[in-house]
Structure 1
């Protein structure tokens, strides 16, 4: 009898996690699927700091927990298993889409409730300033004549996708060199063991500002709001459009009124000067989509990831 009562009590408590009459009525767990200090962690903590500063979550506590491992598989899996729980939230990344494509995970992006896209983290194609390449056409012409090495973080992440899109659009072949971290990638270019690299702006902005690197192109569909002087691939004649979605999701099955509550809160977050400063300091472009519109965006981006990753044999 005691065991049955305990099970019923736990079941009721779990159900109540998504059914409070006045939300929020409990502390929130903000799960970061990566280690401290990275781009996903910084975005998550920036959002939480703004929410705390402006008291947008009332008097309730927000706990940020890092659950790294498996290119996001562990942290995202932890959130996905809590379907209906309105008191857990997480941030998206490139791995939010690519990890389920190239690995066997128990979840995909469809196991989450899309709340908001807050920014786009598109990629730069970067060369050394002492290289002979000043434009994309010069770079592509050389790539058609001889083998070139382009570096990026990871074998199947956003950097690889952008490099693959460039090869497809320009009709070129090159050797892609994957790196495990940003410092190794930068060293690869500064030491001239690479001809170019693909990276998000935050990783190379210091070298660009110091005059060591030159940016040839930006992978979003429009110019960066932080680096408006950098032309896109598209305006230079190359069909490369890609950006990592920096957004917010919750487990599947959270009540619609909770989703709408979070949308309203995040609209306030992105209007703050603190958020604008974050975007500028990290080289991110402002971009917002809410609810189902964000879900549609994730679906389209997932399809493009699958097509490109399959084209160079990363899906087994």
Structure 2
């Protein structure tokens, strides 16, 4: 009988030892993720993190920054404060970020303008001056026309563009919507008169009023008009169809190899420690599963595409080379 109790005691002791070993190993792995090159523990963040939005309050970049900031606060354990620094298509915010300490406490929410602005404007900074943290997704670019009008699909658009010049509204020169239309004109030979507007509201009003034939825009910006059957989407410059607009074909499936999207992500000053960048990446990645972020993706028709810092840098580099070549052909840069 005593031997039986002894054996049970030995088994119980072994189980306890194994559990302690597993828990200790787990703690050791967690600590290893937050150590510097010398093996010392890093406590980050120890205070508020500032996330710069280079758009005005209420704009696309601002909404992106504020939604991600709120979702990441519980994970980082510190406030994430959004500051707006609009101007120069992002140039003002880029210059400010470069002037900050590379300690992870000041970050910038970016879009494709990270490469487009330096290519088309005289700015002191380029993407090479910063360390990418995370890419979170891609905004689609959709071609829209007035519902029940002269153009009802891509075939109509191209046929009409060979008869007369298409009046194509854009949100500026060298913007993604402008570039997408220019690439289509290049591949199809259609005639296009580009008509730049100050903002999306003006372009929409011109399209609804019959003053222009077509625009390219973010689906979320024209969704209400499409649902009200005032506008119709006829093409998407993405590799795949959009979940909320499944009846709108991609240009690729129609035989035109054109993909032009607006991507979004977070960058930091050059020289930010790798351990800090890793902590930020993991926190932001986890924040993407927050219900508010899921709603942000769905509401804005953003395609979730997560890349870490190294992957994001290679992606940005590829995008920069692509747009540099296209803008040179368009005569917008020399």
Q: TM-score, normalised by structure 2?
A: 0.85
Determine the structure 1 residue equivalent to 2:333: 315
Structure 2 contact 48–79 (Cα < 8 Å) conserved? yes
Structure 2 contact 131–270 (Cα < 8 Å) conserved? yes
Q: Work out the CA distance in 2 between the residues paired with 1:248 and 1:227.
A: 28
Q: How do 1:130-209 residues align onto structure 2 when only pairs under 5 Å count?
A: 130-209=148-227
Aligned Cα root-mean-square deviation (Å):
1.6
Q: 1:20 to 1:68 in 2, by over 3 A?
A: farther
Determine the structure 2 residue equivalent to 1:78: 96
The one of 59, 76, 88 aligned to 1:38: 59
Superposition deviation, residue 203 in structure 1 = 1.4
Aligned pairs, number: 295
Q: Work out the CA distance in 2 between the residues paired with 1:76 and 1:227.
A: 34
Structure 1 contact 98–157 (Cα < 8 Å) conserved? yes
Q: How do 1:219-258 residues align onto structure 2 when only pairs under 5 Å count?
A: 219-258=237-276
Determine the structure 1 residue equivalent to 2:298: 280
Structure 1 residues 234-274: Cα deviation after superposition (integer angstroms, max 9, x where no partner): 00111210111111111111111111111111221112222
Structure 2 contact 111–262 (Cα < 8 Å) conserved? yes
Superposition deviation, residue 83 in structure 1 = 5.4
Determine the structure 1 residue equivalent to 2:139: 121
Q: TM-score, normalised by structure 1?
A: 0.89
Superposition deviation, residue 118 in structure 1 = 0.7
Determine the structure 2 residue equivalent to 1:27: 48
Superposition deviation, residue 283 in structure 1 = 2.0
The answer to whether 1:265 aligns with 2:283 is yes
SS at match of 1:140: helix
Q: Work out the CA distance in 1 between the residues paired with 2:290 and 2:179.
A: 32
Structure 2 contact 103–276 (Cα < 8 Å) conserved? no
SS at match of 2:75: coil
Where does structure 2 lack aligned partners over 5 or more consecutive residues?
A: 1-39
Structure 1's consecutive aligned runs of 4 or more residues displaced over 6 angstroms after TM superposition are none
Determine the structure 1 residue equivalent to 2:11: none
Superposition deviation, residue 306 in structure 1 = 1.4
Superposition deviation, residue 175 in structure 1 = 0.4
Q: Work out the CA distance in 2 between the residues paired with 1:37 and 1:161.
A: 25
Q: Work out the CA distance in 2 between the residues paired with 1:163 and 1:27.
A: 42
Q: Work out the CA distance in 1 between the residues paired with 2:292 and 2:327.
A: 36
Structure 1 residues 129-166: Cα deviation after superposition (integer angstroms, max 9, x where no partner): 12232321221111011111111111121111111111
Structure 1 residues 23-61: Cα deviation after superposition (integer angstroms, max 9, x where no partner): 111221111112111100000000011123xx1121x22
Superposition deviation, residue 210 in structure 1 = 0.8
Structure 1 contact 118–288 (Cα < 8 Å) conserved? yes
Determine the structure 2 residue equivalent to 1:57: 76
Q: Work out the CA distance in 1 between the residues paired with 2:45 and 2:271.
A: 17
Q: Work out the CA distance in 2 between the residues paired with 1:228 and 1:92.
A: 28
Determine the structure 1 residue equivalent to 2:322: 304
Structure 1 residues 288-316: Cα deviation after superposition (integer angstroms, max 9, x where no partner): 22221111111111112112222222215
Q: How do 1:8-19 residues align onto structure 2 when only pairs under 5 Å count?
A: none
Q: Work out the CA distance in 2 between the residues paired with 1:20 and 1:82.
A: 24
Determine the structure 2 residue equivalent to 1:13: none
Q: Work out the CA distance in 2 between the residues paired with 1:278 and 1:165.
A: 29
Q: Work out the CA distance in 1 between the residues paired with 2:241 and 2:302.
A: 11
Determine the structure 1 residue equivalent to 2:18: none
Q: 1:73 to 1:20 in 2, by over 3 A?
A: farther
